[in-house]
Amino acid sequence: MRSYKASSRVGGAAAAAVLLSVCAAGPASAGDRPAGSDGFTLQDPRITESSGLAASRAHPGVYWTHNDSDDGAYLYAVDGRTGKTVATLTLTGIGSPRDVEAISVGPDGDLYVGDIGDNLGGTWDHVWIYKVPEPKVLRDQTVRATQYVVKYADGPRNAEAMMVHPKTGRVYIVEKDEDGGGLYEGPDPLDSAATNVFKRVADIDLWVTDGAFSPDGRQLALRGYFGGVAYSWKNGKPTRQGQLSVPMQPQGESVTYTADGRTLLYGSEGRGSSVKPVEVAGAGGNSGGSDGSSADGGDGDGGGFTGKAGAVGAAVLLIVVLGVGRLVRRPKAK
């Protein structure tokens, strides 16, 4: 969540030249793409730490987001054409949110919210997932949520990425660790009356801040502060395909596919933050594509930065070229 901060003043031609490998590709022609495919800027002054992003299924061109940390049990529906909030949901039926980090839409049409962060380094013995039906009418309203208690089979973890598979409905969480973490699979289905134990099913070589499945469920995109990795997804298992072109942002926290699967949208924290688009190469009109060519290279050696070394390397480049001061801020204990 707040483990790594980059200056909001980063920019200019020098940065663009040095960080070409992680800059976003230019947006494709508009055509009949969903609203928001060219990116947008969050206009709501209440959204200061947008940490999760999910494309609505019920309302094309609308994107759900939320603030980081313990801001409260609020979800914001944002119009991708204007960046303005068109509805605010207040969740009831749950406890006090502690560190909300992720949001995803399931095949059941419900919104899944991951209260899964742990700034204390994985010391909380459980975290939570909340589920609410996506409203048919976009207006400010109070909705009752179902709360799920989550634990990990191998002990507490800090995490910021939670994804619901769009076909199976299975929930996955990716650990956030600067040296790389694990991909955890939840029970199917989740049980609101019991503890849901998530089991590690794969290793992920990335300091992950968010993730998203393509609409057809055949691709998984994971992002970090300075890079990302594309995976193909088959039978509940990821296969690494290559690096994602992740735009440079003040604090890159979120990612989602557009509803047509042709664009990845990357979000950042900060008041008035921008959501940046990167076209999924080779997707054409197919949802999420079939060849994983949203990555820069299919062999995993393309541009971008992954893991601890990658993040440190990117920070060094910023310091050398732009003279940026302090980039790292210690986690804020709660």
Side-chain-side CA neighbours of residue 185 (13 Å): 14
Give mean pLDDT, residues 208-225.
98
| pLDDT tens digit sequence for 238-283 | 999 999 999 999 999 999 999 999 999 999 999 999 999 999 976 7
| pLDDT tens digit sequence for 224-243 | 998 999 999 999 999 999 99
More confident of the two residues 269 and 304: 269
Average pLDDT, the chain: 82
- Return all residues near 229 (Cβ < 8 A) that are at least 6 apart: 204, 205, 206, 221, 222, 240, 241, 242, 243, 244, 295, 300, 306
Give mean pLDDT, residues 160-169.
98
pLDDT attached to residue 253 = 96
More confident of the two residues 325 and 130: 130
pLDDT band, very low/low/confident/very high, at 32 (cuts 50, 70, 90)? confident
pLDDT attached to residue 1 = 52
Give mean pLDDT, residues 42-71.
94
| pLDDT tens digit sequence for 306-323 | 444 344 444 444 433 333
Distances (CA, A) of 318 to 5, 47, 186, 323: 12, 27, 38, 7
pLDDT attached to residue 58 = 97
Alpha-carbon distance of 134 to 132, in angstroms, equals 6
**The pLDDT of residue 21 is above 70:** no
pLDDT attached to residue 248 = 95
pLDDT attached to residue 194 = 98
More confident of the two residues 124 and 310: 124
Considering only CA atoms, which of 295, 39, 54 is closest in space to residue 166? 54
**The pLDDT of residue 107 is above 50:** yes
Alpha-carbon distance of 255 to 268, in angstroms, equals 9
Give mean pLDDT, residues 118-135.
92
pLDDT band, very low/low/confident/very high, at 170 (cuts 50, 70, 90)? very high
pLDDT band, very low/low/confident/very high, at 218 (cuts 50, 70, 90)? very high
pLDDT attached to residue 70 = 67
pLDDT band, very low/low/confident/very high, at 161 (cuts 50, 70, 90)? very high
pLDDT attached to residue 72 = 82
- Write a three-state SS string for 257-311: ECCCCCEEEEEECCCCCEEEEEECCCCCCCCCCCCCCCECCCCCCCCCCCHHHHH
pLDDT attached to residue 284 = 56
